Amino acid sequence: MISTETYIIKAVVGGETYLFQYEHCYDAWAALEQFWHEDYPETIASLPDCGTFPIDILSMLEGKVIATMPVTFNCAVFDHFFDKGWSASSQEPGQRYTLDQFAKDIAREPDTDRDIIALWSDWCMDYDDENLWLDYMVRHPKGHCNRQHLQEKWDYCYEKYGSKAAMQMFWRELDYDNRTILTEYITTKYNQNK
């Protein structure tokens, strides 16, 4: 049976997001092949960092996302699967490249709450120099506290709870806007170095 599902491929290349829509594909693999042969050479291949990047394949039905499949685009792997038909990593030259092998080669774990919790745990145990994130909070357009106020709040938490619990207690002392600003710092500035 041929599906009338629409697939959207979301590619993030060099920090930019590109969306490609494929209608009436019978499965996600057909959408990936269409991306590889049509949109990749036309839109992505000339960009820096175009050899390997994350892709989310969104399966759409009646305008709603019904499934998301995260994969890693790898130019060499796609070339071997879609064009050559044999795996570059195979021990036996000319061995047929199966769909199962291809799926394993491009598999990528989705972002999950567990990842967010791990990031928060890492941050609480090994946070950046306080001057970096306190200054970030004060300079932020939504920041409404002066540096001295935030510093006093941080110093109080650090002295009362120690270095390992200070961040959790500091977080509890913040209002919603300041929690949002600190979260932005952790997920952008701090996370880019992890």
Interval 83-103: pLDDT, tens = 988 876 655 666 788 898 899
Q: Which of 100, 117, 107, 118 is nearest to 54 (CA)?
A: 107
Distance of CA 44 to the CA centre of its chain: 18
**Helices first, then strands: H and E counts in the chain:** 8, 4
Judge contact between 49 and 31, C-beta under 8 A: no
Q: What does the buried/exposed string (b/e) look like for 119-132 if buried means 16 or more CB atoms within 10 Å of the residue's CB?
A: ebeebbeebeebee
* DSSP element (H, E) containing 152: helix 147-161
The packing angle between helices 166-173 and 113-125, to 10°, is: 110
Residue 32's SS3 state is helix
Write out the two tokens for 117: 């919790």
- Residue scoring higher pLDDT (4 or 164): 164
Flag whether the pTM goes above 0.75.
Answer: no
pLDDT value at residue 114: 54
Nearest Cα residue to 37 out of 49, 20, 52: 20
Between 33 and 113, the more confident residue is 33
Helix (H) or strand (E) holding 110, with range, is none
Determine the pLDDT at residue 130: 93
Instruction: Label residue 62 exposed, middle or buried (CB < 10 Å: 0-12, 13-18, 19+).
Output: exposed
**97 vs 84: CA distance, rounded Å:** 9
pLDDT digits (tens, 9 = 90+) for 179-188: 989 988 888 7
CB 11 within 8 Å of CB 75: no
